[in-house]
């Protein structure tokens, strides 16, 4: 008897030291359960239940619950409460005999993933540099904010991605060379482990005035700004997700795409013929959003995401594309290097066409847009 009490006392000390675990007691028909809570979360009104059984077992203020009225067997334990996500752990019959400890981790309903990146590049040449060159300074930053709420069989994912950069060539003024604002909000209802019903809102624009940068680094014509243009996609569809590697594919057969140009003087560059004098176009079509993440080598990460849209009514088969790729080389928690590419094609965005010499031909039309950059800088997660 004293040995059994000592064993129970020993396991309670271990559980209180490490947070949450499921411990088979010396009695073959009992389970001692303790939940692993993050530092900012308390047990509250949490309960433990066995899958397919109605009875709930109250978790005390130390995060411990005891199940004493079940025979040894295979069970799925589920932890639930008002302030935590559903957490589960399978307990095998053999674990009753081995007295194994099985950890169960619980998490709050809201999870956040925020980061800040600062990049810097500089080139300098003396007046007597024979090979030639233009001195330049470039500074850029990226802010990423994400919040995810998950409750039972639903979740709500929100993210804001903001990139901004400026460059100065020679003695010219600083000019903006990167300006990208993107917001995503998606609500999912799970109907299997990998498939969801989803509603998505996607918004893209820039935050500041855009100017064409001439070949010599000087500032050219005004070509855009905040909400000039802005693109929004709103739709409901199906969502497929796997975790290792991370792959997410969202498809909406009925999606609304809104193109808005706040500056009327720029509307003709982003809206097709027939929208003269207007600033907004609404299209009905199909939308697909894909995202892939993977650690291909140690501390080398690949992140690729792409959006595809086609109009069901006008120009069906013409696909608008926005495809971004990032390869990140992580040096440590604060220093990283990344190679970034972006490809855009939109049949409604018109360019002044130039010849091989760079001279205007007088014509206009859509063109494939592409940019790439290599950055080294600081990174901080919070």
Per-residue model confidence as pLDDT tens digits over 76-127: 989 888 888 988 888 887 776 665 566 788 999 999 999 999 998 888 888 8
Residue 14: the pLDDT is 41
Number of Cβ within 10 Å of residue 33's Cβ equals 23
Fold of 110-381: Outer membrane phospholipase (ompla); Chain C (2.40.230)
List the helix and strand counts (H, then E) for the chain: 3, 24
Q: pTM (2 decimals)?
A: 0.81
Residue 197: the pLDDT is 97
| Both tokens assigned to 146 | 């994400």
CA distance 83 to 86: 10
Element (H, E) at 269: helix 267-270
DSSP string for 200-223: EEEEEE-SS-EEEEPTTS-EEEEE
Residue 160: the pLDDT is 97
Fold of 2-102: Immunoglobulin-like (2.60.40)
From the first residue on, what is the mean pLDDT of each consecutive set of 10 residues in the chain (382 residues)? 47 42 46 82 84 87 80 85 88 69 83 94 82 85 96 94 92 88 97 94 93 79 91 97 94 97 91 90 97 96 97 92 96 94 92 80 88 92 89
Domains 2-102 and 110-381 share a fold: no
Domain segments of the chain: what residues?
2-102, 110-381
Report whether 73 contacts 104 (CB < 8 A): no
Per-residue model confidence as pLDDT tens digits over 183-236: 999 999 999 989 999 999 999 999 989 888 877 777 888 889 999 999 999 999
CA distance 147 to 228: 28
Report whether 235 contacts 256 (CB < 8 A): yes
Residue 170: the pLDDT is 82
Residue 256: the pLDDT is 97
The strand pairing partners of 324, in sequence order, are 305, 342
CA distance 280 to 284: 14
Element (H, E) at 12: helix 2-18
CA distance 282 to 260: 9
Residue 121: the pLDDT is 86
């Amino acid at each position: 008897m004293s040995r059994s009490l000592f064993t129970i006392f020993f396991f309670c000390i271990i559980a209180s030291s490490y947070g949450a675990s499921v411990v088979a007691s010396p009695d073959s028909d009992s389970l001692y359960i303790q939940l692993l809570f993050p530092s900012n979360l308390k047990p509250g009104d949490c309960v433990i239940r066995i899958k397919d059984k109605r009875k709930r077992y109250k978790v005390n203020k130390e995060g411990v619950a005891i199940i004493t009225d079940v025979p040894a067997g295979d069970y799925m334990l589920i932890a639930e409460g008002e302030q935590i996500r559903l957490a589960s752990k399978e307990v095998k019959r053999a674990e009753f005999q081995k007295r194994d400890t099985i950890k169960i981790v619980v998490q709050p309903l809201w999870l956040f993933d925020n980061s800040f990146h600062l990049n810097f590049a500089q080139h300098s040449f003396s007046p007597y540099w024979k090979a030639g060159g233009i001195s330049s300074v470039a500074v850029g930053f990226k802010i990423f904010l994400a919040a995810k709420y998950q409750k039972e069989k639903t979740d709500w994912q929100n993210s804001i991605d903001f990139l901004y950069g400026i460059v100065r060539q020679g003695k010219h003024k600083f000019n903006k060379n990167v300006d990208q604002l993107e917001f995503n909000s998606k609500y999912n209802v799970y109907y299997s482990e990998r498939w969801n019903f989803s509603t998505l809102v996607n918004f893209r624009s820039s935050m500041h005035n855009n100017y064409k940068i001439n070949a010599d680094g000087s500032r050219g014509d005004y070509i855009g700004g905040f909400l000039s243009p802005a693109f929004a996609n709103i739709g409901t569809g199906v969502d497929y997700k796997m975790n290792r590697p991370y792959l997410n594919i969202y498809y909406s057969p009925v999606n609304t795409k809104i193109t808005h140009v706040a500056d009327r003087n720029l509307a003709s560059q982003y809206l097709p013929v027939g929208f003269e004098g207007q600033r907004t176009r609404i299209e009905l079509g199909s939308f697909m959003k894909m995202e892939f993440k993977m650690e291909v080598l140690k501390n080398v990460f690949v992140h690729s995401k792409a959006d595809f849209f086609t109009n069901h009514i006008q120009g069906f088969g013409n696909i608008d594309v926005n495809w971004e790729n990032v390869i990140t080389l992580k040096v440590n928690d604060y220093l990283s290097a990344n190679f970034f590419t972006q490809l855009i094609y939109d049949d409604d965005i018109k360019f002044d066409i130039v010849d091989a010499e760079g001279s205007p031909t007088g014509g206009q039309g859509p063109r494939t847009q592409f940019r790439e950059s290599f950055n080294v800088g600081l990174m901080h997660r919070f």
